[in-house]
């Protein structure tokens, strides 16, 4: 469908009485064509559904950094796009799959992990990723997270943690820090938050990392690692939501938040994830905390079934 702007431009070109506008129209046309050329030339363009752009995210939001890191990782790995599947729940972060030009699923709130589990079990050839928000994965979807990690299902779960429910207006969630203001804690939050890398490690994840939206090179490397690992991998990305959480807690602009990440982040690779608790200190502890090997769900299941078959049981 042609846009209003397209119809306006056609009218201006065709009607002599608005000729003075032609010069402006020529300039806009030139700018549009140049932008189009630049977009067509971009090496990451093939991963995006360009017809869905402009995206819905606010200016300064950190979610775009995560999207670009994910597709850069695919490009660096020379991944087979036909085998990639990305699943999300609902939220601002949950909109990521809508912009990816591959098999993607925008499921119901909190249910991305069970959906992804089903796909991985039905077709183990797929590389399955869940990319969703802190509220989606750890509030309504919290139980699914625990059990997928415990079962060690092979998938990457990437959580964009902006410390609140961004999409619905900045309500408190399970990662909102103590004392923080949210739409549902106007006097300050009195519920202690999860330390999600610690939760992931304790539940059985074989790979656990945390970065911020300014640590993109490290994030890309982590995504590459997580996508090639056997078992359940988890990456948390601390991200600004300047519109809700940032504004309510007087965090300043997105640039101020980036500066804060730069000043407060301390990389502690392989430290005990218990020490990565964001509410315990003035530091943002980031890094790769866990990278271990252990049998995944499918392997254990196969072994058990093989044993049962040997004993004459038909499975």
Ligand X SMILES: Cc1ncc(C[n+]2csc(CCOP(=O)(O)OP(=O)(O)O)c2C)c(N)n1
Binding region for Mg ion (CB under 5 A): 133-135, 162, 166
Q: How far is the CB of 16 from ligand X (least distance, A)?
A: 50
Q: How far is the CB of 164 from Mg ion (least distance, A)?
A: 5
265-280 as b/e, with b when 16 or more CB fall inside 10 Å? beebeeeebeebbbee
Cβ distance to Mg ion smaller for residue 62 or 287: 62
Q: How far apart are CA 279 and CA 43, in angstroms?
A: 40
Q: Using CB distances below 5 to 8 A depending on partner kind, what does residue 113 bind out of Mg ion, ligand X, ligand SF4, none?
A: none
Q: How far is the CB of 95 from ligand SF4 (least distance, A)?
A: 8
Q: Which stretch binds ligand X (CB under 6 A): 41-49, 130-138, 182-190, 216-224?
A: 130-138
Q: How far apart are CA 235 and CA 288, in angstroms?
A: 9
Q: Using CB distances below 5 to 8 A depending on partner kind, what does residue 57 bind out of Mg ion, ligand SF4, ligand X, none?
A: ligand SF4
Q: Which stretch binds ligand X (CB under 6 A): 33-41, 166-174, 178-186, 194-202?
A: 166-174
| β-pair type (284-291, 207-212) | antiparallel
Q: How far is CA 170 from CA 126, 162, 245, 277, 278, in A?
A: 35, 10, 6, 22, 19
Regarding 183 and contact with ligand SF4 (CB under 6 A), the answer is no
Q: In the window 18-57, what residues touch ligand SF4 (CB under 6 A)? A: 57
Contact present, 85 and 126 (Cβ < 8 Å): yes
Q: Which residues contact 313 (CB under 8 A, 6 or more apart)?
A: none
Q: How far is the CB of 135 from Mg ion (least distance, A)?
A: 5
Cβ distance to ligand X smaller for residue 166 or 240: 166
Q: Using CB distances below 5 to 8 A depending on partner kind, what does residue 257 bind out of ligand SF4, ligand X, Mg ion, none?
A: none
Cβ distance to ligand SF4 smaller for residue 109 or 268: 109
Q: Using CB distances below 5 to 8 A depending on partner kind, what does residue 206 bind out of Mg ion, ligand SF4, ligand X, none?
A: none
Contact present, 113 and 145 (Cβ < 8 Å): yes
Kind plus residue range of the DSSP H or E element containing 309: helix 297-310
Q: Is 270 helix (H, G, I), strand (E, B) or coil?
A: coil
DSSP for 161-214 reads: E-SSBTTTTSB--TTPPTT--BTTBTT---SPPP-HHHHHHHHT-SEEEEEETT
Among 58, 68, 140, 177, binds ligand SF4 (CB under 6 A): 58
In the complex, which residues of this chain contact ligand SF4 (CB under 6 A)?
Answer: 57-58, 61, 63, 92, 162, 166-167, 241-244
In the complex, which residues of this chain contact ligand X (CB under 6 A)?
Answer: 90-93, 109, 133-136, 160, 162, 164-168, 173
């Amino acid at each position: 469908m042609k846009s209003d702007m397209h119809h306006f431009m056609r009218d201006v070109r065709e009607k002599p009485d608005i000729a003075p506008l032609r010069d402006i129209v020529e300039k806009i046309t030139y700018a549009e064509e140049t932008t189009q050329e630049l977009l067509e030339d971009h090496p990451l363009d093939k991963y995006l559904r360009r017809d869905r752009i402009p995206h819905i995210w606010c200016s300064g939001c950190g979610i775009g950094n995560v999207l670009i890191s994910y597709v850069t990782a695919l490009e660096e790995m020379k991944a087979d796009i036909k085998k990639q599947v990305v699943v999300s729940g609902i939220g601002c972060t949950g909109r990521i799959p809508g912009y990816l030009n591959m098999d993607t699923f925008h499921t119901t709130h909190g249910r991305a992990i069970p959906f992804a589990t089903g796909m991985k079990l039905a077709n183990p050839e797929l590389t399955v990723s869940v990319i969703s928000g802190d509220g989606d994965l750890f509030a309504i979807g919290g139980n699914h997270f625990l059990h997928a990690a415990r079962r060690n299902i092979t998938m990457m779960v990437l959580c964009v943690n902006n410390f609140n429910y961004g999409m619905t207006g900045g309500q408190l969630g399970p990662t909102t820090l103590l004392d923080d203001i949210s739409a549902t804690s106007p006097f300050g939050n009195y519920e202690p938050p999860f330390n999600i890398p610690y939760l992931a490690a304790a539940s059985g994840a074989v790979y656990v990392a945390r970065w911020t939206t300014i640590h993109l090179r490290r994030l890309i490397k982590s995504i590459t690692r997580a996508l090639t690992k056997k078992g359940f991998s988890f990456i948390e990305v601390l991200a600004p939501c300047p519109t809700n959480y940032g504004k309510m807690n007087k965090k300043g602009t997105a640039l101020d938040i980036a500066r804060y990440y730069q000043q407060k982040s301390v990389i502690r690779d392989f430290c005990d994830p218990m020490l990565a608790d964001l509410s315990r200190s003035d530091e943002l502890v980031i890094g790769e905390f866990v990278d271990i090997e252990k049998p995944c769900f499918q392997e254990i299941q196969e072994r058990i079934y093989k044993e049962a078959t040997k004993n004459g049981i038909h499975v």
